[in-house]
C-alpha cells in the first residue's frame, strides 16, 4: 500500500496505526460510503472539519461522519463567540489538504483540535490519511496527544 505523509509522520512518532484504502474516483467520497467500502461501522469513521472563529483563528474538529458539527458547542469548546466553516477555497492553502482528504494529522500548521467526546470510549477511530482513498485507524487518545487535541461534545 502507498504510504501517505500522515502514515510517515505516524511512523516517525511511533504511533501505532492500521492503514486502510478504498477505491475512489477523482473526487471525495462521503464518510458513510467510506465506512461501507472499508467494511467498518460508520460510528468509527471520523471526518475532519476546519473552521474559522470570530477572532480570526482556525480550529479543527474531528467528528463522526454521520454527525453534524454543532457550531455553538464548537465555539464554546474553543472559547470563541462564534465559528463558521472554512471556505473550501482556503482549505488547501491553509492545511495542505483537499476536501475528502483532510487529516487532523500533519497539517501545514498545528491548529487547536477538538475530537468529539464519544471517540474517547472507542478503542480506535478511523480518520483520513491525508489523501483521498486512504485512511488510518488509531487510538483516539493517541490522536489527541499527537495533535495537542482535546475532547468535547461538539457534534449533533
Q: Is the pLDDT of residue 120 over 90?
A: yes
DSSP 8-state class, residue 95: H
Residues 86, 120: Cα–Cα separation, whole Å = 26
pLDDT tens digits, residue range 63-89? 999 999 999 999 999 999 999 999 999
Find the helix or strand (DSSP H, E) in which 64 lies: strand 58-64
Q: Which residue in the block uniquely carries the three cell numbers 462564534?
A: 82
Q: Is the pLDDT of residue 27 over 70?
A: no
Q: What is the mean pLDDT of residues 99-110?
A: 94
Q: What is the pLDDT of residue 60?
A: 98
pLDDT value of position 2: 86
The set of cell numbers assigned to 151 is: 475532547
Q: Residue 29 has what pLDDT? A: 78
Find the mean pLDDT for residues 20-36.
83
Tally the C-alpha atoms within 13 A of residue 87's C-alpha that lie toward its C-beta.
3
Q: Name the residue range of residue 83's domain.
A: 5-152
Q: Would you call 114 helix, strand, or coil by DSSP?
A: strand
Q: Which pLDDT tens digit goes with each residue over 105-118?
A: 999 999 999 999 99
Q: What is the DSSP letter of 9?
A: H
Looking at the predicted structure, is the pLDDT value of residue 28 above 70?
no
Residue 143 is part of a domain; what is its CATH number? 3.90.960.10
CA pseudo-torsion sign 29, 138, 41, 73: negative
Task: Count up the domains in the chain and report the number.
Answer: 1
Q: 66-94 burial string, b = 16+ CB within 10 Å, else e?
A: ebebbbebbbbbbebeebeebeeeebeeb
Amino acid at each position: 500500500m502507498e504510504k501517505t505523509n500522515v502514515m510517515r509522520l505516524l511512523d516517525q512518532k511511533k504511533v501505532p496505526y492500521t492503514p486502510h484504502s478504498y477505491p475512489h474516483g477523482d473526487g471525495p467520497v462521503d464518510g458513510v460510503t467510506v465506512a461501507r467500502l472499508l467494511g467498518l461501522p460508520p460510528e468509527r469513521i471520523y471526518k475532519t472539519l476546519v473552521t474559522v472563529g470570530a477572532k480570526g483563528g482556525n480550529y479543527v474538529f474531528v467528528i463522526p461522519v454521520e454527525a453534524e458539527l454543532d457550531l455553538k458547542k464548537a465555539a464554546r469548546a474553543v472559547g470563541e463567540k462564534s465559528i463558521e466553516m472554512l471556505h473550501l477555497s482556503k482549505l488547501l492553502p491553509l492545511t495542505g489538504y483537499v476536501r475528502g482528504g483532510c487529516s487532523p494529522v500533519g497539517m501545514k500548521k498545528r491548529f487547536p483540535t477538538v475530537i468529539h467526546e464519544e471517540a474517547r470510549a472507542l478503542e480506535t477511530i478511523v480518520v483520513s490519511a491525508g489523501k483521498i482513498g486512504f485512511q488510518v485507524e488509531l487510538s483516539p487518545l493517541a490522536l489527541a496527544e499527537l495533535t495537542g487535541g482535546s475532547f468535547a461534545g461538539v457534534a449533533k
